[in-house]
């Protein structure tokens, strides 16, 4: 099984407090801590487990700048066999389609049976996987929480509403977006990362991929982020004030009125 | 005038709530824009939904085919590509089906894409102004998307106001013949239902729901005692289930259960949309959270800034004293 | 008149010289013993290196006090006294046993120098020694076989009961005592009957009793008894010698070595591999203990030396709480694995399984809080903490880290604290409104390059936890009042890494240590003070090259004695206070008296002692990363401790560690003692009573 996992370096939601910068149009990025997107990490763990059983190799790939290399190394420390960095100034400002186009150009040079992405990343769009599949004309399944490999056909379970699971059979090669909870990712310590610190990670730019600059990057983007902002709170809840006793008294009154007691 | 299409998701012959929200969304894209509902499926269920949608939408397109009996995104996408014009603006719900369908659809229609939109701020020529969120709802963003070659946009369920009742007397057009080749490389097998746990949270009128603020598995008994005092049932948000502190059947949210209680006590819950998406029917929501900036306070009826680990036992005592 | 014929001259059935047996038995015995010992040494030769030849004077002291002096035995009084009797008896009888072997070859043999007064005196003591040993064995056998004290019980999952082996050995020892005494008594009785000469025998000793009992036996009976008893003794002796390395009585041979090589430094963790420096760690193929031979030779010796007494597990708080950990079985299982893999005959068997898949479970190893109660208790100097850490290093190297620990480890890596909070907020505790109005805390790590004599190392929990930040504020007020010129490192401070190291994440610990050491040395402080015993331990025992480190209780005790700090009389004289010794202040670092002296300086403060105090203190549940780990347990350690305090009649538990405070406060709620029991930090009590 040759598996390619698309990963992304994102600001860590657990360890950051997000505030706007002084201009009020972007995040304050000074103190932000970045790591691999949580969904992507589950995807890499799943790929490693499949390859441990069925043989083959896992390649991790990302579209980003030099700093994005650190997430490739971390996933390789976890057990991915190869890493590829797609980096070029021309890629800056790409929208989802642009990213998918860049990835597609690299994927076509290889021969992968399975392509994984995380179900979503920091932007919460969950778009690249589906777009990539359509561009490659591969079948797609999103929010995958179970994979059973059996030769050239595989069964996947998708997480759908109500906690139910939709089982599908899907042909290879295919693209799957992986949901959290599919497995328990193994621990990667500093030592593991140091062990792969010297491993070669090839970097490819627009030229290597044969991409037309107009199709990617800001120039090719049809959807662009304009700014970050703090929304007007609106009415919201009636905040109860006072001592805890007073608050509880008022609350009990309201609960009685609404049939909560 | 922009021609907007809305894909109608349904189950067992009943359209999902979000189907009523597309008209309001379209109105915000362009005042007065017309919206055509698109429904795919098979047989009586499809007809029932098409009929219902004809009360809300002036034009309804239905595509009837056995291959569409279960909503398989790979098949639906092919059908839509066949019947929709290339520069259509297509609205899809940002639910598990929408996430499966929409990105690939935008590639096949060669149109722009925007996901999980919570608001529109009108058009400026061909540029549509969109409001969405990033980083798990921690920040909001303005996004612009170019509609000149069409667009596929997924819309957050519950973000737009549902249409009121009434009957616009719309017509249903059958385009089953234009569906084209509906073979796909992915086949639907079956739906495996979530295991019913020992408690059915969907049946309780009052829920004491816990989130990350409970901090430790051992503290769950504090919530259970409050629930006992209130005659309520304990439910929770996703992180509690991911940590394996409670079974999946206790989870409220888009990937968990949908509940319609009379009273919803949100204890130590931040109020993410995925969680609140499981709370329907306009219950009385009481939110207790240490963080005064928690998003839950925007959707709750009553808000209290306190540490739930201290507040819950005191509330329980006061209730027991009644 | 004839004298009794000794075994060297006796002829069985009139023609067979039994001296042949006296010759063959020792040769076979010693030969077999040598072979067995060679087999037993094999794994030690393959084990990892250890550094146990340093600090010779201290090692000799341990030998005298722990091995010879048996100082740890009386901690369990009855068993302790019994063992001291048997041990002392064995030492005394060792000369007699050696002599006896030669007696079988040459009648009447005595060791050079033992023919005169020395010999007589020796015989006197040796007779009582044998008597004492027999009495002790009988009592011990009754205790083991009939009363069956709880700590010897073997839980089902660990296999069959060990009582039979224990009673069997007591039986052999008893046989040795009886046969030796009968051998001597028979000769004395024979001589008395035959010549009338009544040699002096230690009154009421076993020999004395037997001699009296044999008073009317026939001469031929006595002759037969004499020879038979000799060979019973000889056989039992060499059987016992060869039996020793086969089970828990190996400790009879290995104890002297194990105690000589035991830990002489406390509180620190062994390096990943002795002889490999920190900057060479990257070159190691594998970290930690994954299979048996990864242990050091001293750890292997530990496994051999276990007497299966169960004292370690009896004191282990994890065991008491119902976690899957029992230190005794960590050792016994490893010992049994060595016996299995290095059999007496046949191939040495190398298992490809990891120890944590084979004889241990992952949870078992993660359950340990590193409190050190087991090591403190063991009369044989067996160590556990380093083994646990090595096993954890092995698991971390293989990626086997419980999910609940991954998040705080990641946060430590990125943000220098397990909560994931931002570095720049590390000193925000000093910005609390009422505090800031009256006190300023110097920032030694900031851009303003402030300097101070003393560094207050706050560490993560005290810096970030809402409820614990008070400790930082109070410590600052105390230091101020005591006239100490101090500052904090603020955002330059990272977690001390005490738990990170003990949880096996070596490289993360090294990174934290490097960063902290650099920041501390750059600040130019002359001494370090901390209110966190875990930080205290790491900075003092694991880090190197730092200025001296003290705990706030040491500072307070010193300043109170010198008069710099005065304390008011007790503000709550009706309360009954009890001081709980934190593991990392007490057991690991010997700081028991300073906090007590400081508390006692408060006039009118009623303080009681817990039964399990000082080096017997019962761990609160653990600090650092242990707060994040979700163990499988029946009760919480904290709850057990709180109940102990309630039983001692206290209503306030005073502790000098932020983690103890958190665990005990939690436990008070869980135990349902809210309102009846309170937990206070040492700094809170002192600061309240500052004059």
Q: Looking at the complex, does the CB of residue B310 fall below 8 Å from at least one CB of chain C?
A: no
Cβ–Cβ below 8 Å for C282 and A17:
no
Q: Residue C458: which domain range?
A: 412-561
C600 and C513 assigned to the same domain: no
CATH of the domain at A155: 3.40.50.620
User: By mean pLDDT, which of B35-44, B288-297, C15-24 is the weakest?
Assistant: B288-297
Length of chain B as a residue count: 322
Q: Looking at the complex, does the CB of residue A186 fall below 8 Å from at least one CB of chain C?
A: yes
Given this model, what pLDDT does residue B278 score? 85
* Contact yes or no for B61/B83 (Cβ under 8 A): yes
Q: Looking at the complex, does the CB of residue A187 fall below 8 Å from at least one CB of chain C?
A: yes
ipTM of the complex: 0.89
C40 and C131 assigned to the same domain: yes
* Contact yes or no for C337/C359 (Cβ under 8 A): yes
Length of chain A as a residue count: 261
Given this model, what pLDDT does residue B183 score? 93
- Structural domain total, chain C: 4
Candidate from A15, A78, A189 with C-beta closest to C508: A189
CA distance linking residue B306 with residue B318, whole number of Å: 16
Mutate to test the interface with B, among A14, A255, A257 (most CBs of B within 10 A): A255
Look at C38 and A16; give whichever has higher pLDDT: C38
CA distance linking residue A147 with residue A54, whole number of Å: 13
CA distance linking residue B190 with residue A187, whole number of Å: 34
The reply to whether C251 falls in a domain is no
Cβ–Cβ below 8 Å for A35 and C422:
no
Q: Looking at the complex, does the CB of residue C632 fall below 8 Å from at least one CB of chain B?
A: no
Candidate from A230, A237, A260 with C-beta closest to B263: A260
Interface of B with A in 124-153 (CB under 8 A): 129, 131-136, 138-146, 149
Cβ–Cβ below 8 Å for A119 and B99:
yes
* Contact yes or no for C306/C382 (Cβ under 8 A): yes
Cβ–Cβ below 8 Å for C420 and A189:
no
Q: What are phi and psi of A85, to 5 degrees?
A: -110, 125
B296 to chain C, closest Cα gap in Å: 22
Give residue-wise pLDDT tens across range A89-98: 999 999 999 9
Residues B54-74 have a mean pLDDT of: 95
B3-178 has which CATH code?
A: 3.40.50.620
Given this model, what pLDDT does residue B242 score? 77
B217 to chain C: which residues are within 8 Å by CB?
Answer: 630
A75 to chain C, closest Cα gap in Å: 13
Report the DSSP pairing between strands A153-159 and A9-11: unpaired
C282 to chain A: which residues are within 8 Å by CB?
Answer: 191, 194-195
Q: Looking at the complex, does the CB of residue B242 fall below 8 Å from at least one CB of chain C?
A: no
User: By mean pLDDT, which of A223-237, B33-47, C652-666 is the weakest?
Assistant: A223-237
* Contact yes or no for C66/C379 (Cβ under 8 A): yes
Query: Where is the domain boundary, C246, C269, C290?
Result: C246
C208 and C329 assigned to the same domain: no
Given this model, what pLDDT does residue B276 score? 85
The reply to whether C589 falls in a domain is yes
Interface of A with B in 177-196 (CB under 8 A): 177, 180-181
C552 and C573 assigned to the same domain: no
Given this model, what pLDDT does residue B9 score? 95
C537 and C576 assigned to the same domain: no
**DSSP letters for A104-147:** HHHHTTS--SEEEEES--TT----HHHHHHHHHT--EEEEEEEE
Structure tokens at C323: 């976690």
C479: nearest Cα among C561, C593, C555, C567: C555
Q: How confident is the model at residue A77 (pLDDT cuts 50, 70, 90)?
A: very high
Residues B13-27 have a mean pLDDT of: 93
The reply to whether C145 falls in a domain is yes
Q: Looking at the complex, does the CB of residue A17 fall below 8 Å from at least one CB of chain C?
A: yes
Q: Looking at the complex, does the CB of residue A35 fall below 8 Å from at least one CB of chain C?
A: yes
Q: Looking at the complex, does the CB of residue A15 fall below 8 Å from at least one CB of chain B?
A: no
Structure tokens at B239: 């992180």
CA distance linking residue C461 with residue C493, whole number of Å: 12
The reply to whether A200 falls in a domain is yes
The reply to whether C355 falls in a domain is yes
Mutate to test the interface with C, among B212, B218, B305, B316 (most CBs of C within 10 A): B218
- Structural domain total, chain A: 1
Average confidence score pLDDT of chain A: 91
Mutate to test the interface with B, among C636, C666, C667, C671 (most CBs of B within 10 A): C666
CA distance linking residue C174 with residue C167, whole number of Å: 10
Candidate from A33, A185, A192 with C-beta closest to C415: A33
Residue with token string 């030099």: A66
CATH architecture, domain defined by B201-320? 3-Layer(aba) Sandwich (3.40)
Given this model, what pLDDT does residue C86 score? 95
CA distance linking residue C250 with residue A49, whole number of Å: 45
Give residue-wise pLDDT tens across range A118-144: 999 999 899 999 999 999 999 999 999
Given this model, what pLDDT does residue C669 score? 80
Query: Where is the domain boundary, C336, C367, C397?
Result: C397
Q: Residue A121: which domain range?
A: 2-220
Given this model, what pLDDT does residue C375 score? 96
pLDDT higher than threshold 80 for residue B138: no
CATH of the domain at C534: 3.40.50
Phi-psi region of C649 (alpha: psi -120 to 50; beta: other; left: phi over 0): left
A16: nearest Cα among C407, C461, C490, C415: C415
Given this model, what pLDDT does residue B218 score? 85
CA distance linking residue B311 with residue B305, whole number of Å: 10
Given this model, what pLDDT does residue A234 score? 61
A254 to chain B, closest Cα gap in Å: 9
Per DSSP, helices labelled H in A4-61 are 38-54
A200 to chain B, closest Cα gap in Å: 32
CA distance linking residue C682 with residue C560, whole number of Å: 14
User: What residues have CB less than 8 Å from C59, skipping those under 6 apart?
Assistant: C52, C260, C261, C262, C264
Given this model, what pLDDT does residue C1 score? 55
Task: For chain B, give every domain's residue range.
Answer: 3-178, 201-320
Give residue-wise pLDDT tens across range B93-122: 999 999 999 999 999 999 999 999 999 998
Beta bridge partners of B236: B210, B251
Given this model, what pLDDT does residue A233 score? 60
The reply to whether A259 falls in a domain is no
Cβ–Cβ below 8 Å for A192 and C506:
no
Q: Looking at the complex, does the CB of residue A167 fall below 8 Å from at least one CB of chain B?
A: yes
- A-chain residue closest to C421, CA distance: A15
C578 and C557 assigned to the same domain: no
Interface of A with B in 208-237 (CB under 8 A): 222-231, 233-234, 236-237
C94 and C206 assigned to the same domain: yes
CA distance linking residue C252 with residue C86, whole number of Å: 11
Percent of chain C with pLDDT over 70: 100
Given this model, what pLDDT does residue A261 score? 77
B272: nearest Cα among B137, B135, B141: B137
Residues B153-169 have a mean pLDDT of: 89
CA distance linking residue C587 with residue B12, whole number of Å: 68
Given this model, what pLDDT does residue B322 score? 80
User: What residues have CB less than 8 Å from C112, skipping those under 6 apart?
Assistant: none
C25 and C162 assigned to the same domain: yes
CA distances C380 to B154, C12, C171, C251, C375, Å, are: 71, 45, 23, 8, 9
Query: For chain A, which chains pass the contact test of at least 3 CB pairs under 8 Å?
Result: B, C
The reply to whether A249 falls in a domain is no
The reply to whether C649 falls in a domain is yes
Query: For chain C, which chains pass the contact test of at least 3 CB pairs under 8 Å?
Result: A, B
- A-chain residue closest to C509, CA distance: A190
Residue with token string 């289930």: B241
Cβ–Cβ below 8 Å for C670 and B217:
no
C132 and C227 assigned to the same domain: yes
The reply to whether C533 falls in a domain is yes
The reply to whether C633 falls in a domain is yes
Q: What are phi and psi of A106, to 5 degrees?
A: -75, -40
Length of chain C as a residue count: 691
Interface contacts A/C by beta carbons within 8 Å: 57
Interface of C with A (CB under 8 A): 281-282, 287, 396-397, 399-401, 403, 405-407, 409-411, 413-415, 420-424, 505-508, 511
Rounded (10°) CA dihedral C338, C504, C629, C647: 70
Structure tokens at B271: 């109020």
Residue numbers in chain C where pLDDT is lower than 50: none
Q: Looking at the complex, does the CB of residue A25 fall below 8 Å from at least one CB of chain B?
A: no
CA distance linking residue C602 with residue C569, whole number of Å: 5
């Amino acid at each position: 099984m040759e598996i390619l996992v698309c990963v992304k370096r994102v600001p860590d939601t657990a360890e950051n407090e997000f505030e706007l910068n002084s201009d009020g149009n972007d995040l304050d990025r000074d103190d932000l801590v970045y790591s691999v997107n949580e969904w992507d990490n589950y995807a890499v763990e799943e790929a490693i487990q499949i390859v441990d059983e069925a043989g083959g190799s896992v390649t991790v790939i990302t579209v980003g700048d030099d700093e994005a290399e650190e997430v490739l190394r971390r996933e390789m420390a976890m057990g991915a066999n190869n890493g590829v960095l797609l980096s070029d100034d021309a890629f800056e400002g790409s929208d989802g389609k642009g990213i998918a186009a860049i990835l597609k150009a690299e994927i076509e040079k290889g021969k992968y049976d399975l392509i994984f992405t995380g179900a979503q990343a920091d932007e919460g769009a969950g778009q690249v996987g589906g777009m990539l599949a359509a561009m490659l004309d591969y079948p797609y399944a999103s929010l995958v929480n179970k994979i059973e490999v059996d030769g050239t056909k595989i069964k996947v379970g998708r997480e759908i509403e109500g906690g139910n699971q939709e089982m599908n059979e899907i042909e290879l090669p295919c693209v799957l977006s992986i949901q959290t909870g599919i497995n328990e990712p193994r621990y990667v310590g500093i030592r593991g990362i140091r062990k792969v610190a010297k491993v070669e990670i090839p970097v490819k730019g627009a030229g290597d991929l044969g991409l037309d600059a107009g199709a990617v990057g800001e120039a090719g983007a049809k959807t662009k982020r304009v700014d970050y902002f703090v929304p007007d709170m609106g009415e919201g809840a009636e905040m109860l004030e006072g001592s805890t006793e007073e608050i509880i008294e008022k609350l009990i009154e309201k609960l009685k009125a609404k049939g909560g007691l | 005038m922009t021609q907007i299409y809305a894909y109608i998701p349904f189950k067992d012959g009943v359209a999902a709530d979000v189907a009523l929200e597309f008209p309001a969304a379209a109105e915000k894209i362009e005042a007065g824009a017309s919206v055509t509902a698109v429904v795919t499926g098979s047989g009586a269920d499809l007809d029932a939904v098409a009929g219902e949608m004809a009360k809300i939408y002036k034009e309804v397109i239905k595509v009837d085919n056995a291959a569409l009996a279960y909503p398989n995104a790979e098949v639906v996408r092919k059908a839509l590509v066949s019947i929709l014009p290339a520069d259509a603006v297509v609205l899809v719900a940002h639910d598990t089906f929408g996430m499966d369908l929409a990105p690939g659809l935008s590639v096949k229609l060669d149109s722009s894409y925007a996901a999980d939109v919570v608001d529109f701020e009108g058009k400026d020529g061909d540029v549509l102004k969109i409001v969405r969120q990033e980083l798990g709802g921690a920040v909001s963003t303005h996004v612009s998307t170019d509609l000149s070659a069409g667009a596929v946009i997924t819309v957050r369920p519950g973000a737009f106001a549902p249409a009121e009742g009434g009957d616009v007397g719309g017509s249903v057009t059958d385009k089953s013949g234009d569906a084209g080749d509906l073979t796909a490389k992915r086949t639907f097998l079956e739906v495996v239902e979530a295991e019913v746990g020992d408690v059915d949270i969907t049946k309780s009128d009052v829920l004491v729901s816990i989130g990350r603020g409970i901090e430790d598995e051992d503290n769950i008994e504090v919530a259970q005692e409050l629930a006992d005092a209130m005659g309520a049932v304990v439910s929770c948000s996703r992180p509690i289930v991911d940590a394996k502190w409670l079974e999946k059947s206790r989870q409220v949210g888009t990937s968990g259960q949908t509940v319609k209680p009379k009273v919803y006590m949100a204890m130590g819950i931040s109020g993410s949309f995925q969680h609140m998406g499981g709370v329907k029917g306009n219950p009385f929501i009481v939110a207790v959270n240490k963080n005064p900036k928690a998003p839950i306070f925007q959707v709750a009826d009553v808000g209290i800034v306190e540490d739930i680990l201290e507040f819950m036992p005191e509330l329980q005592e006061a209730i027991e004293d009644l | 008149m004839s004298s009794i014929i000794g075994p060297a001259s006796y002829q069985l059935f009139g023609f067979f010289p039994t001296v042949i047996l006296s010759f063959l038995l020792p040769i076979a015995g010693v030969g077999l013993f040598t072979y067995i010992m060679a087999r037993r040494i094999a794994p030690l030769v393959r084990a990892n290196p250890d550094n146990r030849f340093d600090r010779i004077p201290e090692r000799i002291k341990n030998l005298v006090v722990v091995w010879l002096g048996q100082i740890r035995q009386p901690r369990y009084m009855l068993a302790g006294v019994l063992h001291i009797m048997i041990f002392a008896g064995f030492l005394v009888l060792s000369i007699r046993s050696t002599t006896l072997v030669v007696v079988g070859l040459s009648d009447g043999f005595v060791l050079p120098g033992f023919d005169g007064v020395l010999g007589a005196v020796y015989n006197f003591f040796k007779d009582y020694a044998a008597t004492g040993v027999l009495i002790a064995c009988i009592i011990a056998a009754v205790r083991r076989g009939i009363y069956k004290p709880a700590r010897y019980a073997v839980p089902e999952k660990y296999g069959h009961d060990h009582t039979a082996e224990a009673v069997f050995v007591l039986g052999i020892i008893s046989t040795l005592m009886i046969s030796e005494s009968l051998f001597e008594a028979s000769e004395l009785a024979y001589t008395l009957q035959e010549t009338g000469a009544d040699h002096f025998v230690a009154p009421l000793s076993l020999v004395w009793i037997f001699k009296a009992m044999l008073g009317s036996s026939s001469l031929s009976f006595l002759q037969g008894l004499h020879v038979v008893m000799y060979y019973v003794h000889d056989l039992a002796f060499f059987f016992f010698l060869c039996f020793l390395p086969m089970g828990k009585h190996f400790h009879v041979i290995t104890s002297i070595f194990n105690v000589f090589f035991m830990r002489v430094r406390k509180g620190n963790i062994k390096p990943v591999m002795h002889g490999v420096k920190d900057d060479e760690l990257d070159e190691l193929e594998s970290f930690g203990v994954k299979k048996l031979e990864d242990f050091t030779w001293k750890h292997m010796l530990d496994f051999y030396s276990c007497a299966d007494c169960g004292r370690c597990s009896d004191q282990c708080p994890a065991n008491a709480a119902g976690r899957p950990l029992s230190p005794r079985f960590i050792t016994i299982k490893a010992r049994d694995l060595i016996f299995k893999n290095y059999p007496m005959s046949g191939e040495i068997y190398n298992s490809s399984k990891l120890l944590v898949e084979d004889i241990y479970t992952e949870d078992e190893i993660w359950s340990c809080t590193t409190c050190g109660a087991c090591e403190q208790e063991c009369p044989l100097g067996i160590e556990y903490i380093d083994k646990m850490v090595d096993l954890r290093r092995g698991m971390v190297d293989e990626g086997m880290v419980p999910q609940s620990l991954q998040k705080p480890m990641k946060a430590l890596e990125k943000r220098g604290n397990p909560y994931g909070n931002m570095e720049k907020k590390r000193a925000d505790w000093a910005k609390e409104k009422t505090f800031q109005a009256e006190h300023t805390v110097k920032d030694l790590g900031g851009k303003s390059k402030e300097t101070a004599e003393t560094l207050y190392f706050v560490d993560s929990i005290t810096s970030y936890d809402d409820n614990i930040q008070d400790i930082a504020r109070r410590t600052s007020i105390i230091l101020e009042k005591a006239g100490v010129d101090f500052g904090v490192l603020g955002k330059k401070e990272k977690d001390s890494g005490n738990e990170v190291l003990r949880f096996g994440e070596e490289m993360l610990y090294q990174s934290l240590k490097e960063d902290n050491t650099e920041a501390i040395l750059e600040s130019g402080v002359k001494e370090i003070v901390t209110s966190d015993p875990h930080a205290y331990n790491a900075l003092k025992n694991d880090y190197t090259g730092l200025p001296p480190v003290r705990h706030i209780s040491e500072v307070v005790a010193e300043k109170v004695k010198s008069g710099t700090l005065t304390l008011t009389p007790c503000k709550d004289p009706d309360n009954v206070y009890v001081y709980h010794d934190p593991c990392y202040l007490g057991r690991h670092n010997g700081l028991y008296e300073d906090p007590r002296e400081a508390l006692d300086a408060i006039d009118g403060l009623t303080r009681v002692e817990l039964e399990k105090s000082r080096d017997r203190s019962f761990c609160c549940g653990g600090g650092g990363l242990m707060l994040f780990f979700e163990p499988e347990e029946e009760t919480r350690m904290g709850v057990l401790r709180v109940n102990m305090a309630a039983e001692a009649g206290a209503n306030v538990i005073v502790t000098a560690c932020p983690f103890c405070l958190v665990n005990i406060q939690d436990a008070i709620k869980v135990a349902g003692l809210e309102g009846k029991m309170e937990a206070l930090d040492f700094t809170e009590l002192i600061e309240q009573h500052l004059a």
